Chains A and B, each alone.
Chain A
């Protein structure tokens, strides 16, 4: 089943913007409302958008379930790995060793109101990214599984 050409073109144009917006929410999780889960969910809705506009087969040809499954595991491993690095440094699990360290995401935050610097908060943005990757993969797998059942019934 295909939607009209206008809908398909519109969805295809919107898709990269949905992706960018989702990634923005993931990356700014420590500064603005949102975070890994919310951003990942936004990206997954982008996948729904292209599936609804185009056909299930056309989309699953490009977006494969196995890739998203791998992405889900990878995100989770990144999350727990980031937490576990602290143990190898002789610090407790989940210790935020990157915060205020001066390296990546390591600037210290000035006291009082400020406009928010992306390069702060240490492990928190890294974990947001990990959760974003995981939710992106996980929700997409759920969506693909659910829609595959619907599609077969109609055909």
Chain B
């Protein structure tokens, strides 16, 4: 009975649990810090469990539709509305489920890590409140089947993220990064709102499925598409709209940076959702596909070349994050470019998309892991400057192992997960256009070179006198990193299982616009 109710309401609980936990956090925090920690970790465990439960439900039983405020959750179209879903609807398909798993797992790892890494700071009630709001924002963004709702959750996410980026004021530098992020996010959100307004004026609807079923691809729709791609591309940090990323990623606390990666992925999800579900074959697939491919290639090349000269370890990783986002855009862009041509789609389009989507989850795991290791190092030695580090491998053995796992995964070395998704991208993109594939491989080699340098300057060399009594990172931080490292290794060892059960349904869900529409509209 109760389990049935939980499963039936899991899309709502996914957003409700973090929201309740966030709003109660200031009260709970007054009891004692220990109780507060149990409260926030418990809430996050429940949210992650809910994400996994819902994902299992979606992957076994198809798209889940949850209607807020209706007399029954599945009743997306009220009987007296004339066939229009007027209520707020959560439409959770395989792609959403994948993103929810990313949010849940990373969120759990990060909050365990935060318990130790931010223990010494003040204002932790607000920190955890904003953190849980961030989780709610991510979960809402990837679940919602309503464009205006998407905007609302995007704003929740942006405001919470901006507050957390500024959390360590750091003589005002972090505040500057937060203001930059906040201004750009707000501009992006406003641009999205204009696009939503265009859709609303044109199709009298905000529900993604309704708009998709009525899509004409008029001039106005083209304007809206440009606005959406520009704003969401900026939010996910694609070159040439990437300039907020290094500042925000490097100045936020490391735990938050790992979560910001997930936030960027949620924007990337929004981009794919708009292009595939909202427009699908109505748009000129080759042109828009190539635009996304060009964005991806630019991000890959510019990101990695900017990363190489960096001396701040987190700034360097932030540029690598831009570069890795390029792979996802490349893979899914190739899939989009051949959309509508079934033979090409079967030949390499699906594999390219699966590679790109697989890279989303892989990137969230290994990049999160890398940012957490950078945070552990900062926690112990208090600097992010690579030139002042050295010989830490003697004292921080576990952190070093986690860093090596993350670094090899990002460089695409087997048997780690980065290799699995990058191989899929290389092979399929090679069939589409060999030059793109070669660029992708060169970028991977540069990534490896960059991380060899970072690894050497942080961990190798003789024990430095100033770091002689540096200790290993505390256990909760290691557990947080360990969760992500285990996922990285498992996904690298058994990529076939993951691709078959998680990634392929997600790619199919993106391409198959009709299934999304009929899930909400009931085959109308």
Q: Complex: how many Å from CA A107 to CA B27?
A: 35
Is the C-beta of A10 less than 8 angstroms from some C-beta in chain B? no
A84-B70 contact in complex given A92-B9, A92-B12, A93-B9, C-beta closer than 8 Å: no
Is A92 in contact with B16, judged by CB distance below 8 angstroms?
no
Note all chain B residues with C-beta closer than 8 A to A93: 9, 12-13, 16, 66, 68-69
Is the C-beta of A69 less than 8 angstroms from some C-beta in chain B? yes
Is A70 in contact with B71, judged by CB distance below 8 angstroms?
no
Is A90 in contact with B68, judged by CB distance below 8 angstroms?
no
Q: Complex: how many Å from CA A73 to CA B20?
A: 10
Note all chain B residues with C-beta closer than 8 A to A94: 12, 68-69, 88
The interface size of chain B toward A, counting residues with CB under 8 Å, comes to 21
The interface size of chain A toward B, counting residues with CB under 8 Å, comes to 17
- Minimum CB–CB distance from B234 to chain A (whole Å) comes to 27
Is A84 in contact with B68, judged by CB distance below 8 angstroms?
no
Is A70 in contact with B26, judged by CB distance below 8 angstroms?
yes
A92-B69 contact in complex given A77-B20, A80-B19, C-beta closer than 8 Å: yes
Interface 0/1 of B362-404, CB less than 8 Å to A:
0000000000000000000000000000000000000000000
Q: Which residue of A lies closest to B68 (CB)?
A: A94
Note all chain A residues with C-beta closer than 8 A to B68: 92-94
A92-B66 contact in complex given A80-B16, A87-B5, C-beta closer than 8 Å: yes
Is A69 in contact with B26, judged by CB distance below 8 angstroms?
yes
Interface 0/1 of A21-50, CB less than 8 Å to B:
000000000000000000000000000000
Is the C-beta of B428 less than 8 angstroms from some C-beta in chain A? no
Note all chain A residues with C-beta closer than 8 A to B67: 92
Is A80 in contact with B12, judged by CB distance below 8 angstroms?
no
A73-B23 contact in complex given A84-B16, A93-B68, A95-B69, C-beta closer than 8 Å: yes
A91-B71 contact in complex given A73-B24, A77-B24, C-beta closer than 8 Å: yes
Q: Complex: how many Å from CA A67 to CA B70?
A: 36
Is the C-beta of A59 less than 8 angstroms from some C-beta in chain B? no
Interface 0/1 of B119-159, CB less than 8 Å to A:
00000000000000000000000000000000000000000
Is the C-beta of B281 less than 8 angstroms from some C-beta in chain A? no
- B interface residues with partner A (beta carbon < 8 Å): 5, 9, 12-13, 16, 19-20, 23-27, 66-73, 88
8 further interface pairs, Cβ-Cβ under 8 Å (given A92-B68, A93-B69): A70-B26, A83-B16, A91-B71, A92-B69, A92-B70, A92-B73, A93-B13, A93-B68
**Could you list 28 examples of A-B contacts with CB < 8 Å?**
A70-B26, A70-B27, A73-B24, A76-B19, A76-B23, A77-B20, A77-B23, A77-B24, A80-B19, A80-B20, A80-B23, A81-B20, A83-B16, A84-B16, A87-B5, A87-B13, A87-B16, A92-B9, A92-B12, A92-B71, A92-B72, A93-B9, A93-B12, A93-B68, A93-B69, A94-B69, A95-B69, A95-B71
* A-B interface, 10 closest residue pairs, ranked by CB to CB distance from nearest: A93-B12, A76-B23, A94-B69, A92-B73, A94-B68, A77-B23, A73-B26, A73-B23, A87-B9, A80-B19
